[in-house]
Amino acid sequence: MKIAILSRNPKLYSTRRLVEAAKNRGHEVRVIDALRCYMNIASHNPQIHYRGEVLENFDAVIPRIGASITFYGTAVLRQFEMMNVYPLNESVAISRSRDKLRSLQLLSRRGIGLPVTSFAHSPDDIEDLLSIVGGAPAVIKLLEGTQGVGVVLAETNQAAESVIQAFMGLKQHILVQEFIKEAKGADIRAFVVGGKVVAAMKRQAKDGEFRSNLHRGGSAALCRITPEERTTALRAAKVMGLNVCGVDLLRSNHGSVVMEVNSSPGLEGIEAASGKDIADLIIEFIEKNAKPNRTQTKGQG
Ligand SMILES: Nc1ncnc2c1ncn2[C@@H]1O[C@H](COP(=O)(O)OP(=O)(O)OP(=O)(O)O)[C@@H](O)[C@H]1O
Ligand SMILES: [Mg+2]
Ligand SMILES: [Mg+2]
């Protein structure tokens, strides 16, 4: 097969591993920077051009689209779909997963357990907004944040109100969540490939920190998940329409709840923790599924 990897940087661990796995399995593989692609869209013969060349005859495309380039990255992916190239994850599913509010609403509609959550833009009654999640302690998040930046734990109602006011001043959407204290600074990442949880890890925040992000000094270790957690992760992946994703769960005293679903989950942490060749499993999934019209949008984006 001829496989394209949409990635801005061939040196990134996940990109390198996918290239390696594809080559090991006998495929031709090329890393393409989505931002450098340009396209002829008003044509019966959709094309993607790249550095003066027309990209042709790809069987599959692996999107590794960073949060900062979601808009253009998904447009390029959609173009591949229009050319009948099989996407590991579809553009519509990636767009859906990048909108946190929409994702939480979709998951909630299908009855998937979530932390009690409220969201707002410019609430006139902050006290009421807070009361929805049972008051402090509460976690307040900037919607645009990544790697734990913009996620704040407010221990008192007063602190929570100040943080919400500060975020309002930034004209941002605000997400307010019950603080799952029982999780003790840990979350679970369940890595899903093609309807199976292929590995899971527990990320533990460093001392004195509640955010388990590895970028915030957290550490990862292999972990065993319960059958319920497995089912929840698979259902969440299905609702989001993602073949490959990282489902992040918090262990709360009302069950394990989904915090977020990541459509371009990194391979480094999970391969190190599990000792598994996840990149190989991803390529294997593509081999089995990369046929025209295998996607929900039938290649129409
Ligand atoms: N409601 C909560 N209760 C307890 N801990 C939480 C809660 N929400 C978030 N956390 C902790 O904070 C960390 C960061 O939160 P979250 O994943 O929502 O934001 P983010 O990591 O910045 O976003 P992204 O993963 O998209 O980059 C989580 O990994 C988790 O450890
Ligand atoms: Mg996170
Ligand atoms: Mg997140």
For the stretch 227-266, pLDDT in tens is: 999 999 999 999 999 999 999 999 999 999 999 999 999 9
Look-up of token digits 């989505």: 34
Percent of the chain with pLDDT over 70: 99
The whole-number average pLDDT for the span 1-15 is 98
Phi, psi dihedral angles at 228 (to 5 degrees)? -65, -45
Q: By mean pLDDT, which of 20-24, 206-210, 294-298 is the weakest?
A: 294-298
CATH code of the region 117-179: 3.30.1490.20
Question: Are the C-beta atoms of residues 180 and 134 closer than 8 Å to each other?
Answer: no
Q: By mean pLDDT, which of 15-19, 40-44, 104-108, 193-197 is the weakest?
A: 40-44
For the chain, the maximum distance between any two Cα atoms, rounded to a whole number of angstroms, is 60
pLDDT of residue 246: 98
Q: How confident is the model at residue 215 (pLDDT cuts 50, 70, 90)?
A: confident
Q: Judge whether 260 is annotated as a binding position.
A: yes
The whole-number average pLDDT for the span 156-177 is 94
278 lines ligand 1 (CB under 6 A): no
Q: Count other Cβ atoms within 10 Å, centred on residue 55.
A: 22
**Is the pLDDT at 167 greater than 70, yes or no?**
yes
Q: How confident is the model at residue 210 (pLDDT cuts 50, 70, 90)?
A: very high
pLDDT of residue 146: 76
**Is the pLDDT at 222 greater than 70, yes or no?**
yes
Question: Are the C-beta atoms of residues 285 and 245 closer than 8 Å to each other?
Answer: no
For the stretch 169-189, pLDDT in tens is: 988 899 999 999 999 999 999
270 lines ligand 1 (CB under 6 A): no
Q: Judge whether 248 is annotated as a binding position.
A: yes
For the stretch 77-96, pLDDT in tens is: 999 999 999 999 999 999 99
pLDDT of residue 48: 97
Q: Measured in angstroms, how far is the CA atom of residue 177 from the centroid of ligand 3?
A: 13
Q: Taking all residues of the chain, what is their mean pLDDT, rounded to a whole number? A: 95
pTM of the model: 0.95
Identity of the amino acid at 145: G
**Is the pLDDT at 299 greater than 80, yes or no?**
no
Rank 35-49, 52-66, 132-146 by mean pLDDT and report only the highest: 52-66
Identical topology for domains 117-179 and 182-277: no
Q: Ligand 1, residues 213, 214, 249, 251: which to mutate, most atoms within 8 A of Cβ?
A: 213
**Is the pLDDT at 291 greater than 90, yes or no?**
no
What ranges do the domains of the chain cover?
117-179, 182-277
Q: Measured in angstroms, how far is the CA atom of residue 211 from the centroid of ligand 2?
A: 8
Burial of 186 from C-beta contacts in 10 A (0-12 / 13-18 / 19+):
buried
251 lines ligand 1 (CB under 6 A): no
5 lines ligand 1 (CB under 6 A): no
Instruction: Name the helix (H) or strand (E) containing 119.
Output: strand 117-120
Select the CATH number that applies to the domain covering 182-277 from these four: 3.30.470.20, 3.10.20.600, 3.40.50.10860, 3.40.1350.10: 3.30.470.20
pLDDT of residue 42: 82
Whole-angstrom Cα distance, residue 301 to residue 178?
A: 36
pLDDT of residue 301: 67
For the stretch 113-154, pLDDT in tens is: 999 999 999 999 999 999 999 999 999 998 877 788 889 999
